[in-house]
Amino acid sequence: MKHNDLLKKFNLRLEELEKMPRMDQSKTITEVIEEKGFSRREFMKWATATCALLALPAEFTPLVAKAAELADRLPIIWLHMAECTGCSESLLRSDAPSIDSLIFDHISLEYHETLMAAAGWQAEENLENAMKKYKGRYVLMVEGGVPIANEGSFLTIGGHAKRGKDIAIEASNDAAAIFAIGTCSSFGGVQAAIPNPTGAVGLSEVTNKPVINVPGCPPSEKNIVGTLLHFLLYGTLPALDAFNRPKWAYKHRIHDLCERRGHFDAGEFVEQFGDEGAKNGYCLYKVGCKGPYTFNNCSKNKFNQGTSWPVQAGFGCMGCSEPDFWDTMGTVGEPLKDKLYNTVFDGMGADATADNIGVNLLIATGVGIAAHAAISAIKHPKGDE
Ligand code: FSX
Ligand code: SF4
Ligand code: F3S
C-alpha cells in the first residue's frame, strides 16, 4: 500500500477506535505511564522504537503512540491452555515495568485466568459474558498448547464438562482476530514434545479461523504488544510467513543479526562451556546454538527491556520459536546435524526467510553451517585461536 494511503487508513482506523467507549479503567494509559515515572519524551522514544520494530517509516510514530493510547478500547480475552504461564510472565515484569508491559496491563483484559480478580464460577461467568457482549469484536489471545488426546480430557477448566479445546474453539468462533501467543499455542511446543501423551497441538489445528502465531518460549514483550498494536493500526491481519508468523517480527534469522556473528565468520568458536573462547564471547554454534535455523528478532530486541538474550548470556539459541523445537533443536551442547560436517554448502545470505528457504533447504543450510564450522576447525586447530 502507498505511503499516503496507509497514513489515511491508519487515521481513519484510529478515529474509529476513538469513538469506541473506554472500558472500565479509571485512568488513561498516559496517566498510568506517567505515574510509573515515564515522561512523555520517553513514551515517544518508545513509540519511535516500536514504529521501527513494525517496519513503519519514522513519521508514523505519532500514530503508533495514539494506537497505544487507544489500546483500552479493544476487549481482549486471554485463554490459558497447557503451558507454564511464561508468556504472561514475559510481559508482566512488576519490579520495573516497561511501557510494553504497562500497555498490556492496561488493555481491557476481559478474561485472563492468572490476572483477573474473579475466581471460580464468577470467572467462568466473566468469560461467557465477555464472549456475548463483545461478539465479533474481541481479540482472542491463547497461551499454551491444546490437548486433544482422550477427547481433550487432559485439560478440564472450571470443573465443568467443557474441555480446554472446546473453550478454545468456542472463543475462536466469534473473535475479531486470534493470536496464538507462544510456541505451545502456535505449534504445540514443549507440551507436544515426544511422546506427547496429551496430544497437545497448536491452536490452528483445532479452529478453522485464521490464527496469527507469535511463537517463542516465551515470546518477547515487544512481539506480543507489537502484534496487538499492528492490529490496532491496520485492523487486519499482518503479512505472515510460511508458519503464520508476522513477518515484521520473524523475518530474519537470529544468526543474521547476532552480536557474535563476526566470530562465526572468522571461525572463532566456543568449543566447550567455560573455555577461553567462552570468555572471549566467541560464537556458540559448536556448543549447540541454533541461531542459524531460527527465525525471530531476539538478537535485535532482546528481553527484559533490552537487558539480555540467550546468546548474550552465553548459552546459545535453542530455536524456541520454531515448530517442534524441543525435539529437533533443543539438544543442549550439540550443533544440529553435526554428523553431516563434511558436506560442503555455500551458506545462506542475510536475507533468507522461512518462506524462501523452505524446510528442506533449511536442513541443507544446517549442512552448510556445520560445514563452515568443520572447515574453520581445520583452519583454526585447537590451541591456535
Ligand atoms: Fe511457557 Fe507460554 Fe513456553 Fe509455552 O510461553 S514460556 S511453555 S511457549 O505457552 O507459558
Ligand atoms: Fe550467534 Fe549462534 Fe550464529 Fe554463533 S551460531 S553467530 S552464537 S546465532
Ligand atoms: Fe528463543 Fe532463540 Fe530467541 S531460544 S528466545 S529464539 S534466542
Residue given cell 467443557 in the structure block: 162
The CATH superfamily of 3-249 is NADH:ubiquinone oxidoreductase-like, 20kDa subunit (3.40.50.700)
Distance of CA 383 to CAs 199, 277, 341, 377, Å? 48, 10, 21, 11
Question: How big is the chain by its Cα radius of gyration, in Å?
Answer: 22
Residue 296 CB–ligand 3 contact under 6 Å: yes
Residue 142 CB–ligand 1 contact under 6 Å: no
d(CA 123, CA 111): 8
pTM: 0.88
Residue given cell 479503567 in the structure block: 25
Strand partners, 109: 76
Exposed e or buried b per residue across 323-332, where buried means at least 16 C-beta atoms within 10 angstroms of its C-beta: bbbbeebbee
CA angle 373, 377, 379 (to 5 degrees): 115
Whether the bond between 246 and the residue before it is cis, its omega within 30 degrees of 0, is no
pLDDT value for 375: 58
161 pLDDT higher than 80: no
**Cβ atoms of residues 266 and 46 within 8 Å:** no
Residue 103 CB–ligand 3 contact under 6 Å: no
**Cβ atoms of residues 317 and 289 within 8 Å:** yes
> What does the block give as the cell for 281?
564471547
d(CA 365, CA 264): 15
> What does the block give as the cell for 239?
503479512
Residue type, 334: E
Model confidence over 315-364: pLDDT tens digits? Answer: 999 999 999 999 888 766 667 654 333 332 334 444 455 565 544 445 55
> What does the block give as the cell for 22?
473506554
Residue given cell 482472542 in the structure block: 140
381 pLDDT higher than 60: no
CA of 34 to the centre of ligand 3 (A): 32
Q: CB-based burial of residue 194 (10 Å sphere; 0-12 exposed, 13-18 middle, 19+ buried)? A: exposed
255-379: CATH architecture: Irregular (4.10)
d(CA 222, CA 104): 10
pLDDT value for 72: 86
Residue 329 CB–ligand 2 contact under 6 Å: no
208 pLDDT higher than 90: yes
Band (pLDDT 50/70/90 cuts) for residue 291 is: very high
pLDDT value for 113: 77
d(CA 333, CA 316): 9
73 pLDDT higher than 80: yes
Ligand nearest to the CA of 282: 2
pLDDT value for 24: 66
d(CA 327, CA 194): 7
Q: Among 257, 321, 329, 331, which residue has the most ligand 3 atoms within 8 Å of its CB, making it the best to mutate?
A: 321
Model confidence over 90-119: pLDDT tens digits? Answer: 877 656 788 888 888 888 777 777 777 777
Give residue limits of the domains in the chain.
3-249, 255-379
Percentage of residues in the chain having pLDDT higher than 90: 59
Average pLDDT, the chain: 85
Neighbours of 156 (CB within 10 A): 14
Q: Which residues contact 31 (CB under 8 A, 6 or more apart)?
A: none
Residue 146 CB–ligand 1 contact under 6 Å: no
